[in-house]
Structure 1
Amino acid sequence: MRATIVHESRSRMRLRLRQKNMTIRQADLLETWLKGQPWIREAVVHERTCCVIVTYTGDREAVLSALGAFTWAGAESSVTLSGHSTRTLNREFQEKLVGKVAVKAAAALFLPAPLRIARIVWHMIPFLHRGLRCLGHRQIKVEMLDALSIGISVCRRDFGTAGTVMFLLEIGELLEDWTRKKSVADLAESLSLHVDRVWLKTEAGEVLTPIGQIRPGDRVVVRAGSVIPLDSVVAEGEITVNQASLTGESVPVAKRPGGAVYAGTVVEEGESVLEVKQASGQSRYDQIVEMIQRSEQMKSAAEAKASNLADKLVPYTFAGSLVSLALTRNLTRALSVLMVDFSCALKLAMPLAVLSAMREAGREHITVKGGKFLEAVASADTIVFDKTGTLTHACPRVARVIPFNGMEEAEMLRLAACLEEHFPHSMANAVVEEAKRRGLSHEERHAKVEYLVAHGIASSVDEEQVCIGSAHFIFEDEKCVIPEGEENKFDALPPEFSQLYLAIDGVLSAVICISDPLREEAREVLSALRNLGVKKLVMLTGDSPRTAASIAEQLGVDDFRAGVLPADKAEYVAAMRREGHTVLMVGDGINDSPALSEADAGIAISDGAAIAREIADITIAADSLWELVRLRQLAMGLMYRIQNNYRFVIGFNGALIGLGVAGILPPTTSAMLHNLSTLGVSFHSMAALPQKKQNKVS
């Protein structure tokens, strides 16, 4: 980079590039490159003045050396830019705004009166057309009010008022369009992958290729530090992948040939060739943009209420203008009423508030698929939690092996590991790992293994029928019995552990006690949720009643259900909703998917299964339950902001109408104040919600 240091203070530097101009793409490229440097704290690029402001950490000479080594070609190959530039959006808005103001000023200063009048008459045609179209559809909408006020002003030969009103209306429309587009762009930007080119493996070697040209079946190369650009399968090589952005797993996962990898995850070690399964257009960024567009169809009740109220208030504004004219016989006062409507602020501010809250949630690693789900979170009085992987770490370990019927502990653990090694769920992994830790080899001795989802495993070993699984599976489905004389031993099983029951030929032979430690923050988070107004906290688990009761007591939940199957979870959630509760379901596994779908809002958390994340309305891609508290705070803050917006819009615009009827405000002033209030409440809706920190309670 060839640049001159214009100003410098401690850890801050202002530079001017030695080039006459800078394109928007160059500005985005440089700013993105700077923000990716390890020494940068803050970077701002001003493309109009070719200036760069950097705030840095570390050695000044190292920073200057890195800046001096910067090249546009190098940045192009190392930086990926979003297809939606906020800088471009802002530039477009600025040019349109300056253009409108310049034309208005030039017309007022230089055009003679006849030409100014002709310009105003020509300018009013689109407004009259929109008003007449509403009349033709027998609708009394804000466009009709605008057309009426402009038309009456022109008929009264008050061309100055008509021109000013049209100018203010156009500025208001421009600001509304910009604020909405910027909110959507900011939200999409905060959640996008920032990958637009990949290394495509061809017969001629590796070729840097735009992601839009990649098709299913193509092979791309990824290396340590790369973001996986598209959902793929490992074709060659071995890598470790950080999947925290999708699953919340803190430990990188090894991926070998045949293993699935997902867009947005990061390669931590190794190099691999991936076979693409989803083409561009199905990437996470595209899905997010589509989600935002779909969210317009998933408006909250508050948004729908605002939109309906805005439309319903237009006829009253029209009637108020007629009443004012009838009482005062003053057309100016009647026009002042027409200049004010509630529609703009109500229809614009509410969606902007929701988009802002969704953007804030995205910054907290929380993905929300629509405004109505935030409203459900804010109004929820009941939260239902899955236990394993949600309230616990989902990293169970074998705590004890208790043999029955004269069996040996080591032999029972060996047999259990022999069966469980084929089914890599968390409890099975714990059994296999414990056998490995004790040095117990479990050679294949069984026949065909039958696995029943959420129940257990059945097989045969040395011509004996062997079953391992939950109490429901062993004692109810398989009708196994406790050995005679060992009932007291069975009753004394430690309740704080989950149990796997192993039976041979219909007789209980061992109980494997599994510990799955609770999340350290779980009890505090539940208390914090109660402080935020949640009345009922429920835990659902497939564990035995004894284990569930012990866990429930440690957590302090209001209710729990033990030994539940996936259908039972969904039925419980449905029953709570039938009783009139607003229910959130928090889960992470395939077996939680029916309940997630049944709830007012389903929340997938931690190392959730892909289907759970897809079905869930909200995804928390981290391993801390405190994000649930933050989600509740954001949702409640959103609803509080919406109510404040209601009060302000109705009160302020109502006051404008009253002042117009009283003759205090002329039409142009009413229009100006109305547009300024709409702009003000819109910017307020776009602002970040308060970052209230929840006190951790014991």
Structure 2
Amino acid sequence: MVRWIQRQTNQLTFTAGALLIIAFIAHWIGIVAVKQGALIVATIVAGVPIAIKAFQALRMKAFSIELLVTIAVTAALFIGEYVESAAVTFLFLFGAYLEARTLNKTRASLRELTELAPDEASVFRNGDWVSVSVDEVEEGERVVVRSGGKIPVDGKILTGEATINEAAITGESVPVGKTNDDDVFSGSIIDSGYIEMVAEKVGEDTTFAKIIELVEEAQESKSKTQRFLDKFANIYTPSVVVLSVLVYLITRDLHLAIIFLVIACPGALVIGAPVSNVAGIGNGAKRGVLIKGGDVMDRLSKIDTIVFDKTGTLTRGKPEVTDFHVISDDNPNDLLQMIAQAEMASEHHLGKTIVKHARAKGLSLQNDYEYAEVVKGNGLRNRVAGHQFSIGNRMLMEMDGVKLTDEVNNYAIEQEKKGNTAIFAAKNGQLVAIISIADQIREDAIDALKELREHGIKQMIMLTGDNAHTAKRVADQLGLDGYHAEQLPVDKVKFVEKLQNEGHKVAMIGDGINDAPSIAKADIGLAMGEGGTDVSMETADVVLMADKLKQFSHAYALAKVTVRNMKQNMAFAVGTVFLLLLGVLAGSIHLASGMFIHEASILVVILNGMRLIRFNREPSEKKIKTVPAHA
């Protein structure tokens, strides 16, 4: 019975409203008995679900707002104030209905995401293409998606090409062209074209499924403000009951004490923080920014210092090999093939670039290296075709006893001064090649950093494992406040800790596995989602799914305006209750009118929170062209 009543709350609300209309008509035509009966029934109909919630809260040893209303309505019935009792219960339920309806609207971005989830997939089984449920697709299976279809799993394109709308993943509505070896994500839609792909992540492991899970968890999580209000309600409710008793003892006016009891309900105060939190997180999700909860929103708004990784964060993360300089007598193609095969074990952008370069030259690569050891921040060691390889920076060469002649060092320095990263490759303890790799600064980097400063960021610093020459060139072009080159993961963590000890609120943004420790250490960790590793995405508090720094500036501005919105709601709610109570004690506010004003204040708070759904910082009018990091 109790559950049935809870499910029928909306119907009970409108039934009580209809009974109030009947009572008004009966009063107008002078049928007193019908009027009184309608008011009493309306009070009971609307009061029962309120009383049930109050009882459930008491069982959990919590003093809820519903308890205040139940006590007040019971007392109003006792003294024969049927108009007030019916009006209070109806307005309270109607306010709860509006509140629930509005919160559902703020969650619309999540529902839109969920609706984009594909239901079926066309897979190649037993020599034929068959349609199966998305949940039945297995890793390694071939999947075909045609024009207008939804991509069912994460994977890599085997054949074909298509223009793909990835708005569900990145928040970017402009379709992108993709072809062989490009990554594609579940939830994306093919605008035009045809692809065959291999399934690499299925079910709950897909990027799309993780996005939905993260947003659901974030919207359910509470900010510090909400947690404070939960504790506040447990103290506030019994305090109001005690104050109402004191009002009665002092004035001997039971009617006044009941009005005081009802009007003191902090409804707008309780709903003000959650509606802002849900709307803000929903806004971010719609634009490809995953903010993992209200507490993250609080902390993000207080950031004053940003620490950037370089490759894949400030730069596009799509570097190219500009020179392959062979020092030994090895055949260049055979040597490149072995080095690329060794780098297939690497998650780093530079390693992937070497692999991509080798494939572009038509070299065949296989995952048949004998073992791989990643030396964080320096490179990797690997054994390929019976040869021991060390591939990385100068520090790795020094660690492995590989001698670098003056001629080699001078060549590497010249390449670095041009903006290249010099990668040294040693085979069996002897240097055999230097690979020069250059990247480009992100198109939106200059605009995004300018906006971050305008929103209140005081300093921006770059930490990179790259050489000092390239680091300085990037830092100068972007107008950063400082940079530190040739940094190991442990160095980045120590630097973040140093800034925190100096009193700064630090955000760290990166995309590689090397950045995960410093992302975790910072007050706010941000990861570049599309090109980032799973480790950095899981560690981060904020994930930028489109790999665009503009999303960071939007997230920071959104955090500030969301926290400001919460404070506005709290101030308005407290001010309304205070003025209403003064009006009650002065005799100018009565129960029904006070309750009407009270519910109106809840609606105002909800509407103010909903403004966040449409929030979007104004984009800069000035367009910045791509700036090469080696220019």
User: Shared topology, TM-score over 0.5?
Assistant: yes
Aligned residue number for residue 37 of structure 2: 115
For 1:452 and 1:296, how far apart are their aligned partners in 2?
Answer: 38
2:82 corresponds to 1:159: yes
Matched, 1:537 2:460: yes
For 1:180, give the aligned amino acid.
L
Q: Any conservation in 2 of the 1:500–1:512 contact (CA below 8 Å)? A: yes
- Are the counterparts in 2 of residues 131 and 147 from structure 1 also a CA contact under 8 Å? yes
Identity of aligned residues (%): 24
Shift of 1:650: 0.9
> What does the per-residue CA deviation read over 1:448-486, in whole Å, with 9 as the maximum and x for residues that have no partner?
6755354335578999876432111112x1122232677
Distance 1:460 1:304 in 2: 54
Q: Quick one: structure 1 residues 565 and 241, their matched pair in 2 at CA, closer, same or farther if it must change by over 3 Å?
A: farther
Quote the RMSD (CA, aligned, Å): 4.2
Distance 1:243 1:385, change over 3 A: farther
Matched, 1:589 2:512: yes
Which segment is superposed worse, 535-544 or 489-498? 489-498
| 1:692 aligned residue | 617
Contact (CA 8 Å) 1:192, 1:284: kept in 2 or not?
Answer: no
Counterpart among 270, 291, 297 of residue 194 in structure 2: 270
- 1:377–1:635 Cα contact (<8 Å) kept: yes
Using structure 2 for the length normalisation, give the TM-score: 0.80
Q: Structure 2 matches for 1:628-667, cutoff 5 A?
A: 628-667=552-591
After superposition, the Cα gap between the structure-2 partners of 1:159 and 1:254, relative to the gap in structure 1 and judged at 3 Å, is same
Counterpart residue identity of residue 473, structure 2: S
Partner of 2:17: 101
Query: SS at the partner of 1:664?
Result: coil
Are the structure 2 counterparts of residues 479 and 508 from structure 1 closer, same or farther at C-alpha, using a change threshold of 3 Å? same
Separation (CA, whole Å) in 2 of partners of 1:148 and 1:543? 68
Match in the other structure for 2:627: none
CA distance in 2, matches of 1:515, 1:612: 23
Q: SS of the residue aligned with 1:468?
A: strand
- Equivalent in 180, 188, 205 of residue 254 of structure 1: 180
After superposition, where does 1:422-437 map in structure 2 within 5 Å?
422-424=342-344, 426-428=349-351, 430-431=353-354
Other structure's SS at 2:343 match: coil
Cα gap change, 1:619 to 1:138, in 2 (>3 Å)? closer
Whether the 8 Å contact between 2:144 and 2:196 is mirrored in structure 1 is: yes
Give the letter for the 1:628 counterpart: F
Query: Quick one: which amino acid aligns to residue 402 of structure 2?
Result: C
The aligned residue for residue 419 of structure 1 is: 339
Cα deviation for residue 307 of structure 1 reads 3.3
Q: Hey, what's the Cα distance between the residues in 1 that align with 2:409 and 2:243?
A: 83
Partner residue in 2 for 1:23: none
Contact 1:120 1:159 in 2 (8 A): no
Give 1:607 deviation, angstroms. Answer: 1.9
Aligned residue in 2 for 1:398: 321
- Please list, as runs of the form range in 1=range in 2, the aligned pairs for 1:564-643 lying within 5 A after superposition: 564-577=487-500, 579-605=502-528, 606-643=530-567
Structure 1 460/646 Cα, relative in aligned 2: closer, same or farther at 3 Å?
closer
Q: Is the 8 A contact 1:238 1:270 kept in 2?
A: yes
The equivalent residue for 2:264 is 341
Q: Secondary structure at the match of 1:112?
A: helix
Structure with a larger share of its residues in helix:
2
Aligned to 2:574, the other structure's residue is in SS state helix
CA positional deviation for 1:644: 0.9
Q: Find the aligned partners of 1:401 and 1:273 in 2 and give their Cα distance.
A: 32
Match of 1:356 among 272, 276, 279: 279
Which amino acid in structure 2 is aligned with residue 633 of structure 1?
Answer: A
> Is the 1:187–1:362 contact (alpha carbons within 8 Å) kept by the matching residues of 2?
yes
- Structure 1: state its 5+ residue gaps: 1-91
> Taking structure 1 as reference, are residues 183 and 244 closer, same or farther at Cα in structure 2, changes over 3 Å only?
closer
What residue is the counterpart of 1:481 in the other structure? Answer: 403
Does the C-alpha gap of structure 1 residues 200 and 428 become closer, same or farther in structure 2, counting only changes over 3 Å? closer
How much has 1:550 moved relative to structure 2? 3.1
Q: Which moved more, 1:281-290 or 1:591-600?
A: 281-290
Distance 1:582 1:117, change over 3 A: same
Q: Could you give the per-residue CA deviations for residues 77-99 of structure 1, whole angstroms, max 9, x where no partner exists? A: xxxxxxxxxxxxxxx99877654
What is the rounded CA distance, in whole Å, between the counterparts of 1:339 and 1:414 in structure 2?
83
Structure 1's 96 and 391: CA in aligned 2 closer, same or farther, altered over 3 A? farther
CA contact (8 A) 1:456 1:470 kept: yes
Closer/same/farther in 2, CA of residues 384 and 219 from structure 1, 3 Å limit: same
Matches of 1:434 and 1:139, distance apart in 2: 64
Offset at residue 664 of structure 1 (A):
0.3
**Equivalent AA in structure 2 for residue 686 of structure 1:** M
Distance 1:301 1:366, change over 3 A: same
Displacement of 1:269: 3.9
**TM-score relative to the length of structure 1:** 0.73
- In 2, the alpha carbon distance for the partners of 1:481 and 1:233 equals 40
CA contact (8 A) 1:396 1:430 kept: yes
Select the residue among 288, 294, 297 that pairs with 1:371.
294
Query: Where do residues 297-316 of structure 1 align in structure 2 (5 Å cutoff)?
Result: 298-316=221-239
C-alpha separation in 2, matches of 1:139 and 1:465? 67
Q: Take 1:516 and 1:136, find their aligned partners in 2: how far apart are those partners? A: 62
Q: Which residue of 1 aligns with 2:29?
A: none
Distance 2:212 2:375 in 1: 36
Higher relative contact order (CA 8 A, sep 6+): 2
3-state SS of the aligned residue for 1:539?
strand
Q: How many residues align?
A: 595
Question: For the structure 1 residues 138 and 393, does the alpha-carbon distance in structure 2 shift closer, same or farther, using more than 3 Å as the test?
Answer: closer
Shifted more, 311-320 versus 108-117: the winner is 108-117
Looking at structure 2, the residues matched to 219 and 99 of structure 1 have their Cα atoms a distance apart, in angstroms, of: 56
